[in-house]
């Protein structure tokens, strides 16, 4: 977040290009979603990359900060971009974010339910997703629901 705050000093509310990393945490065929306090919707754990981090470091850090869980294995699920990755926040800030999404079925720790960014965490079945899903995440959540193949990288 330091990088974003510093850039905002220079560009004001103009569009900032960022990299977001998130993790689809799957357990027994269910997905972990968090109910965000800022936009009052459900999304996967994740957040913005800081300067010098790898994609994996960002994903693991964000999952831990937001859920208290340590993901112990990450597989690339997909990279998402396009119009659905643009947002204008209530304060006027504009962001276009490239989303690097991982999937993990291995994690350790105790799930913390409430923090500054979220009010609840819950595992959902593919057939019982909540109504208010973050519009910038609906594509990869639906890809998960529809059984998207995980790419093999050699």
Q: Got the DSSP string for 60-83?
A: HHHHHHHHS-EE---EEEEEE-SG
Which CATH number covers residue 23?
3.90.79.10
Provide the residue range defining the domain that includes 12: 2-143
Residue 104: closest CA among 47, 44, 43: 44
| DSSP 3-state of 126 | coil
* Residue 118 binned pLDDT confidence (cut-offs 50, 70, 90): confident
* Token pair belonging to 117: 């960014």
- 27 part of a folded domain: yes
- 151 part of a folded domain: no
Predicted model pTM: 0.90
Residue 101 CB burial class (10 angstroms; 0-12, 13-18, ≥19): buried
Q: How many domains does the chain have?
A: 1
pLDDT tens across 49-62, in order? 999 999 999 999 99
- 88 part of a folded domain: yes
- 149 part of a folded domain: no
């Amino acid at each position: 977040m330091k990088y974003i705050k510093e850039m905002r000093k220079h560009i004001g509310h103009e569009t900032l290009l960022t990299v977001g990393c998130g993790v689809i945490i799957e357990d027994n065929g269910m997905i972990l979603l968090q109910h965000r306090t800022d936009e009052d919707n459900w999304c996967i754990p994740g957040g913005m990359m800081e300067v010098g981090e790898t994609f994996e470091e960002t994903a693991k850090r964000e999952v831990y900060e937001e859920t208290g869980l340590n993901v112990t294995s990450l597989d690339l699920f997909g990279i998402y971009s396009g119009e659905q990755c643009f947002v204008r926040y209530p304060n006027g800030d504009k962001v276009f974010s490239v989303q690097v999404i991982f999937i993990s079925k291995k994690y350790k720790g105790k799930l913390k339910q409430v923090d500054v960014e979220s009010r609840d965490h819950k595992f959902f079945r593919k057939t019982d997703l909540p109504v208010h899903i973050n519009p910038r995440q609906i594509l990869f959540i639906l890809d998960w629901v529809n059984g998207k193949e995980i790419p093999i990288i050699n």
